[in-house]
Amino acid sequence: MKICIYGLGAIGGLIAARLANQGIDVCAVARGATLEALRRDGLTLIEGLADQPMRRQFNIRASDDPAELGVQDVVVVSVKATAMPAVAAGIAPLLGPDTTVLSTMNGVPWWFFHGMDPALAKLRLDTLDPDGRIAAAIPAERVVGTVTHLSAANQGPGVVRHVAGNGILVGEPSGGAQTPRSQAIVAVLRQAGFEIGESASIQQDIWYKLWGNMTVNPVSGLTGATTDQLLDDDYVRHFMSRCMREAAAIGGRIGITIDNDPEERHQVTRRLGAFRTSMLQDVEAGKPVELDALVGAVLEIARQVNVEAPNIEALMGLSRLHAHLRGLYPAYLPGANTSA
């Protein structure tokens, strides 16, 4: 199986290194300092205890021109949602008639409603794909979805550290993971050492993960606080809970039920200790933030299914203004009730 990782960030780098470790034919689309590091030193994976790290290096073929890499069996798209327009513009040389695109992104993806109730097909996600270019370049029929339950961090160009967790859920947008292409992906990821679950409804699993991430990520980016500090403040925790109840109501309108209480989800987050979310790290590094995939798309769905979400609107407004003033979120019309 020929696999290309499009985007060697923390998760993409971890997947690439694990595949390379098993001798699987893996290549990568990379640019800038990351590409230079790969060509000079290879891809470095750090695992193990902080005081006894194990470093391994893997030579993988990489290019900033997908045409040099050729048609693949699987393309793993592992970029921030903000980078998807660039991926859509460049991915064509990697795609043959039977190439599968494995989506490993955070938040609501562009293909979210594919395979769900046909009545939902009319819902649009203009916050994610306003001109339809992503859907045209990567048709939903090509996609197999994932939800990652692991964490990794970049420690410099071409260097990734596995932090915690090892789980990946895999599922077809139409449900289950029993198709030949999904089973082939499940097998190769298990061979690479991941703990793979086969999702009965990948959209349900995406929404449940989003249910927690859509609050702690932007609130941490806005405040600079670690997750334990967010949860220790009653006002902040209760605000996040109100957002989560609204998100649960929105999910209910599209057939996705969440029975948990927000406080139960907060306790899961608390057990992870004091950590800096990915959005906080992006703000500190001056990188564009994924507000549209985590919050904006939720509001867009809410408007289309007639669910009031004033707390999520407040979360989006404060977060986008904070990011926009730092050049991390694109221009928008002040006062507009959209996230674009």
Q: Same structural domain for residues 53 and 156?
A: yes
Q: Does residue 293 share a domain with residue 236?
A: yes
Domain contains 214: yes
| 25 and 171 part of one domain | yes
Q: Which of 84-88, 174-178, 208-212, 335-339 has the lowest mean pLDDT?
A: 335-339
Helix axes 278-285, 202-223, angle to 10 degrees: 40
Domain boundary among 142, 172, 200: 200
Q: Is residue 267, in this structure, part of any structural domain at all?
A: yes
The answer as to whether 151 is a domain residue is yes
Token pair, residue 73, equals 């069996």
Structure tokens at 28: 């990568």
Q: Which of 200, 235, 268 lies at the terminal end of a domain, its last residue?
A: 200
**Residue 11, domain member (yes or no):** yes
For residue range 146-187, list pLDDT tens digits in order: 999 998 888 999 999 998 889 999 999 999 999 999 999 999
Residues taking part in catalysis: 209
Interval 222-227 mean pLDDT? 96
Question: Can you tell me the distance from the alpha carbon of 243 to that of 310, in angstroms, rounded to the nearest whole number?
Answer: 8
User: Are 51 and 177 contained in the same domain?
Assistant: yes
- 126 and 171 fall within a common domain: yes
Instruction: State the pLDDT at residue 335.
Output: 56
338 within some domain: no
In angstroms, the CA 211 to CA 214 distance is 6
Instruction: Indicate if 255 and 186 belong to the same structural domain.
Output: no
Residues near 6 by beta carbon (within 8 Å), at least 6 away in sequence: 12, 28, 29, 66, 75, 76, 77, 78, 79, 87, 91, 94
pLDDT per position as a tens digit, 256-293: 999 999 999 999 898 888 888 889 989 999 999 999 99
Helical packing angle, 234-253 and 310-324, nearest 10° = 110
317 and 280, same structural domain?
Answer: yes
User: Does 338 have pLDDT greater than 60?
Assistant: no
Residues with Cβ < 8 Å from 162, sequence gap 6 or more?
Answer: 14, 45, 46, 47, 150, 152
Query: Is the pLDDT score of 51 beyond 80?
Result: no
CATH of the domain at 232: 1.10.1040.10
Number of domains composing the chain: 2
CATH code: domain of residue 115 = 3.40.50.720
Query: Of the residues 167, 200, 233, which one is the last residue of a structural domain?
Result: 200
| Co-location of 236 and 313 in the same domain | yes
Do 9 and 30 lie in one domain? The reply is yes
The pLDDT of residue 272 is 80
Q: Do residue 155 and residue 219 come from a single domain?
A: no
The token duo for 315 is 């979360």
Domain with 209 in it: 204-324
Residue 332: its pLDDT value, please? 73
Kindly state the helix (H) or strand (E) to which residue 283 belongs, with its residue range. Answer: helix 278-285
Please check whether residue 80 lies inside any domain of the structure: yes
Q: Are residues 258 and 133 in the same domain?
A: no
Residue 335 in domain: no
pLDDT of residue 205: 97
- Assigned domain for 134 exists: yes
Q: Are 79 and 13 in contact (CB under 8 A)?
A: no
Q: Say how far apart CA 59 and CA 83 lie, in whole Å.
A: 25
Asked if 152 and 289 sit in the same domain, the reply is no
